[in-house]
A and B are shown apart, each in its own frame.
Chain A
């Protein structure tokens, strides 16, 4: 969607108390422009985690658009922006939070958490730049496919929770433990095991550029 149209639609939503018909029309336009992207992102994320569910995709998208309707001006376009990618990114972040909230709400009603648990730091393991430059999406998928379905699901769930410089809330980790009937200690071990395996796979299979050797 063009930037001008996007701004106009968001502004129309913010004036819903004054002109509900224009606001509803703007909402329809935004939904039809961006709902397929959200469905696709959520489907991919959930499939990769090994927990595909239409119910989660529908509820998450539903609540994300409801948030947009209720508070359209919580998104601000960056200066000198020439496409709607920042809006897409913002919408995906809202959806990510909605997904976590929905799962938390669901499991909170069914699981009793221990009373005091601290949040945890999730370290991002470094990959040598020579390797990371030569890794493509196929190699990433191939590396993931060397893991068991359960390990892959746990690793990707952890990675999707990751935000640079922030701890993972204990309740999010507890949901993961409950979903896979395991403990935090095991989760840590699984993460370590998977990362070692992935990096080894990269080292063996990435097309590293060989050092030039000139014969004299």
Chain B
């Protein structure tokens, strides 16, 4: 008997389950079934035409390079080293982070 089985690529597998950009009909159906699309509130909903009058957009102030985990590690290190020059803002951040962690327990 001829074996017609064909192994699938890992990326194709991710795509087929709607985890990457869904583009085929099946992927879109899968995505729509698994995500609550109606909960979105597009910013130009009340006046879509404003898109045309505004023209193309650019990104201005991305914060993608910010890594909160690195920041926490830095704070931990400062605390271990006994640095008493922490600003009020940083101390508040540490307390906030600490309290948030407690909330999840």
* A interface residues, Cβ below 8 angstroms from B: 24, 27-28, 31-32, 35-41, 43-45, 48, 51, 53, 55-56, 58-59, 61-63, 65-66, 69, 83, 85-86, 88-89, 92-93, 95-96, 102-103, 105-106, 122, 124-129, 132, 135-137, 140-141, 149-150, 156, 159-160, 162, 178-179, 181, 195, 198-199
Contacts and interface: CB of A to CB of B under 8 A. Distances in A.
A129 B5 contact: yes
Contact of B52 (A27, A41, A137): A27
B37 A40 contact: yes
B2 interface: no
Interface in B50-70: 51-52, 54-65, 67, 69
Q: In which size bucket is the chain B interface? A: 35 or more
B10 interface: yes
A152 B35 CA distance: 20
Contact of A66 (B20, B43, B56): B56
A162 B5 CA distance: 24
B22 A89 contact: yes
A55 B60 contact: yes
Chain A binding surface SS class: helix
A135 B49 contact: no
A126 B28 contact: no
Contact of B44 (A24, A35, A45): A35
A96 B16 CA distance: 17
A36 B10 contact: no
Interface string B29-51: 11110111110111111001101
Contact of B34 (A95, A132, A137): A137
The 10 closest A-B pairs by CB, nearest first: A124-B9, A31-B48, A85-B25, A35-B42, A39-B40, A89-B23, A106-B59, A59-B57, A126-B7, A36-B40
